[in-house]
Amino acid sequence: MPTTIAEKPSAEVPAGAALETLKITDSRTGKSYEIPIEHGTVKAIDLRQIKTGPEDFGLMTYDPAFMNTASCRSKITFIDGEKGILLYRGYPIDQLAEKCSYLQVAYLILYGELPTVTQLHEWTEHVRMHTFVHENVKRLMDGFRYDAHPMGIFVSTLAALSTFYPEAKNVLDADTRQKQVWRLIGKVPTIAAFAYRHSLGMPYVYPDNDLTYAENFLSMMFRVAESKYRPNRVLARALEVLFILHADHEQNCSTNAMRSIGSSQSDPYCSAAGAAAALYGPLHGGANEAVLRMLDEIGSKANVPAFVRDVKEGKGRLMGFGHRVYKNYDPRAKIIKRMADEVFAETEKNPKLEIALELERIALEDEYFVKRKLYPNVDFYSGLIYQAMKFPVDMFPVMFAIPRMSGWLAQWEEMLMSPEQKIARPRQMYLGAQRRNVPA
């Protein structure tokens, strides 16, 4: 007779519904177990009761890098990596990119529904009211060396905000959390732009709240002596779309960092600083910067075949290609590629586009990439657009972090509100030395 591990079905399984189960026979003991399956998953903790004897700790799962582990239940973002589908709260990314503003999408991601006209007005006002930073934040940013990478400044300044808003540590209070959401969404473009201006030694441009979220960011980045910054509408819209495409992407490395740090009930500024630090790496949000450096290194279309050959021989990676979840063309990359033409009609054509197109053409026909299902991801073309819009390469990961703040905060809120939530604390397989004594 199988031993039933979980006696009662989880509260999420409707009463009367047939319980799907997994039958396991432990060949070490000959015992059989029946484990509930819910939403295509089994609970790792259900395996703990599979033991060889009373002294045995019980079976664990081993999954470095979470290749096949769901770390949470979520209702925010859905990805079907095989089909190249991305939905925020059920809405397809291409429809959101076509019809919405970034602040509408941020609201959707955070609160589950697209805002009504009144809700959008209130939300926009709240965000606008929090675009300014304390003068001491500015002075703190002044302390960085002239050549500091803006992402380093960005990460550090996010963490420093925690000292300006000490009440933010009351993470179990809904009103307090809400206030920090307005502050963080409002302030990230300001901090990002100040980090850039600092690297140029140029005076900081204060927020202009007559402008939209994306336009205001362009103003803080690029305004020089003009009394009023007049954004190019096509470029401002392109930036808005890029913000929408980067707003959330379910349990990626930085979001997992946000949830993991937040699970200790750390305040949202420190948690977001940790998430931004995770984003900075070249395998994640730093990839758009790495793509541009790679295109520079390749230099010309003629050098593409040799570069691809090197990648196949294991000498580096084709940056902006491949994804843990997408085994098809990243839907975000499709939208960006289409948008590139509109942007280049307004700016000079980025000469690196030719190299990128040739790389994509060769890679998509090459058995190495086809067999491994490596397609262009969001970072492959975004950098070319940013560069054409005159954003320096160092700023690319920061540009990713600005909109991702809405996703991090939505996932943080969902994590804190989950009744199953506990401090994130994985197990390990200990393979080191057994107990031994220090020599006398």
Q: Does 374 bind ligand CMC (CB under 6 A)?
A: yes
Q: State which of residues 320, 331, 397, 403 lies at the interface with ligand CMC (CB under 6 A).
A: 320
Q: To which residue do tokens 């397609």 refer?
A: 375
The burial class, CB within 10 Å (0-12 / 13-18 / 19+), for 374 is buried
Q: Write the interaction track for ligand CMC spanning residues 265-294; mark x where CB under 6 A is met and - where it is not.
A: ------------------xxx-x-------
Rounded to a whole number of angstroms, the minimum distance from the CB of residue 244 to ligand CMC is 15
Distance CA 367, CA 120 (A): 48
| 379 catalytic residue (yes or no) | yes
**8 Å CB contact between 217 and 402:** yes
Determine the residue with CB nearest ligand CMC: 322
Rounded to a whole number of angstroms, the minimum distance from the CB of residue 239 to ligand CMC is 18
Q: Does 383 bind ligand CMC (CB under 6 A)?
A: no
List the structure tokens of 217: 């960011």
Q: To which residue do tokens 């750390």 refer?
A: 266
Q: Write the interaction track for ligand CMC spanning residues 323-352; mark x where CB under 6 A is met and - where it is not.
A: xx----------------------------
Q: Does 379 bind ligand CMC (CB under 6 A)?
A: yes
**8 Å CB contact between 19 and 31:** no
Rounded to a whole number of angstroms, the minimum distance from the CB of residue 5 to ligand CMC is 31
DSSP single-letter state for residue 125: H
Angle between helices 150-164 and 174-200 (to 10 degrees): 140
Binding segment (CB under 6 A) for ligand CMC, from list 15-23, 187-195, 319-327, 410-418: 319-327
Q: Does 311 bind ligand CMC (CB under 6 A)?
A: yes
Binding segment (CB under 6 A) for ligand CMC, from list 20-28, 176-184, 318-326, 425-433: 318-326
Q: 35 or 405, CB closer to ligand CMC?
A: 405
Chain Cα centroid distance, residue 353 = 25
Q: Does 358 bind ligand CMC (CB under 6 A)?
A: no
Q: Pairing state of beta strands 32-37 and 85-88?
A: unpaired
**8 Å CB contact between 171 and 177:** yes
Q: Does 411 bind ligand CMC (CB under 6 A)?
A: no
Active-site option among 130, 149, 249, 323: 323
For residue 90, what is the enclosing H or E element? none
Q: Does 322 bind ligand CMC (CB under 6 A)?
A: yes
Q: To which residue do tokens 């939300």 refer?
A: 123
Active-site option among 94, 126, 284, 366: 284
241 Cβ partners below 8 Å, 6+ apart? 97, 335, 339
| 198 catalytic residue (yes or no) | no
Chain Cα centroid distance, residue 206 = 27
| 323 catalytic residue (yes or no) | yes
Q: Does 89 bind ligand CMC (CB under 6 A)?
A: no
List the structure tokens of 138: 């500015």
Q: State which of residues 101, 180, 377, 382 lies at the interface with ligand CMC (CB under 6 A).
A: 377
Q: State which of residues 319, 388, 399, 410 lies at the interface with ligand CMC (CB under 6 A).
A: 319
Binding segment (CB under 6 A) for ligand CMC, from list 130-138, 175-183, 191-199, 310-318: 310-318
Rounded to a whole number of angstroms, the minimum distance from the CB of residue 106 to ligand CMC is 18
Q: Which string of DSSP letters, residue by residue, matches 344-410?
A: HHHSPPPTHHHHHHHHHHHHHHSHHHHHTT--B-HHHHHHHHHHHTT--GGGHHHHHHHHHHHHHHH
Q: What residues line the site for ligand CMC (CB under 6 A)? A: 249, 252, 283-285, 287, 311, 317-324, 372, 374, 377-379
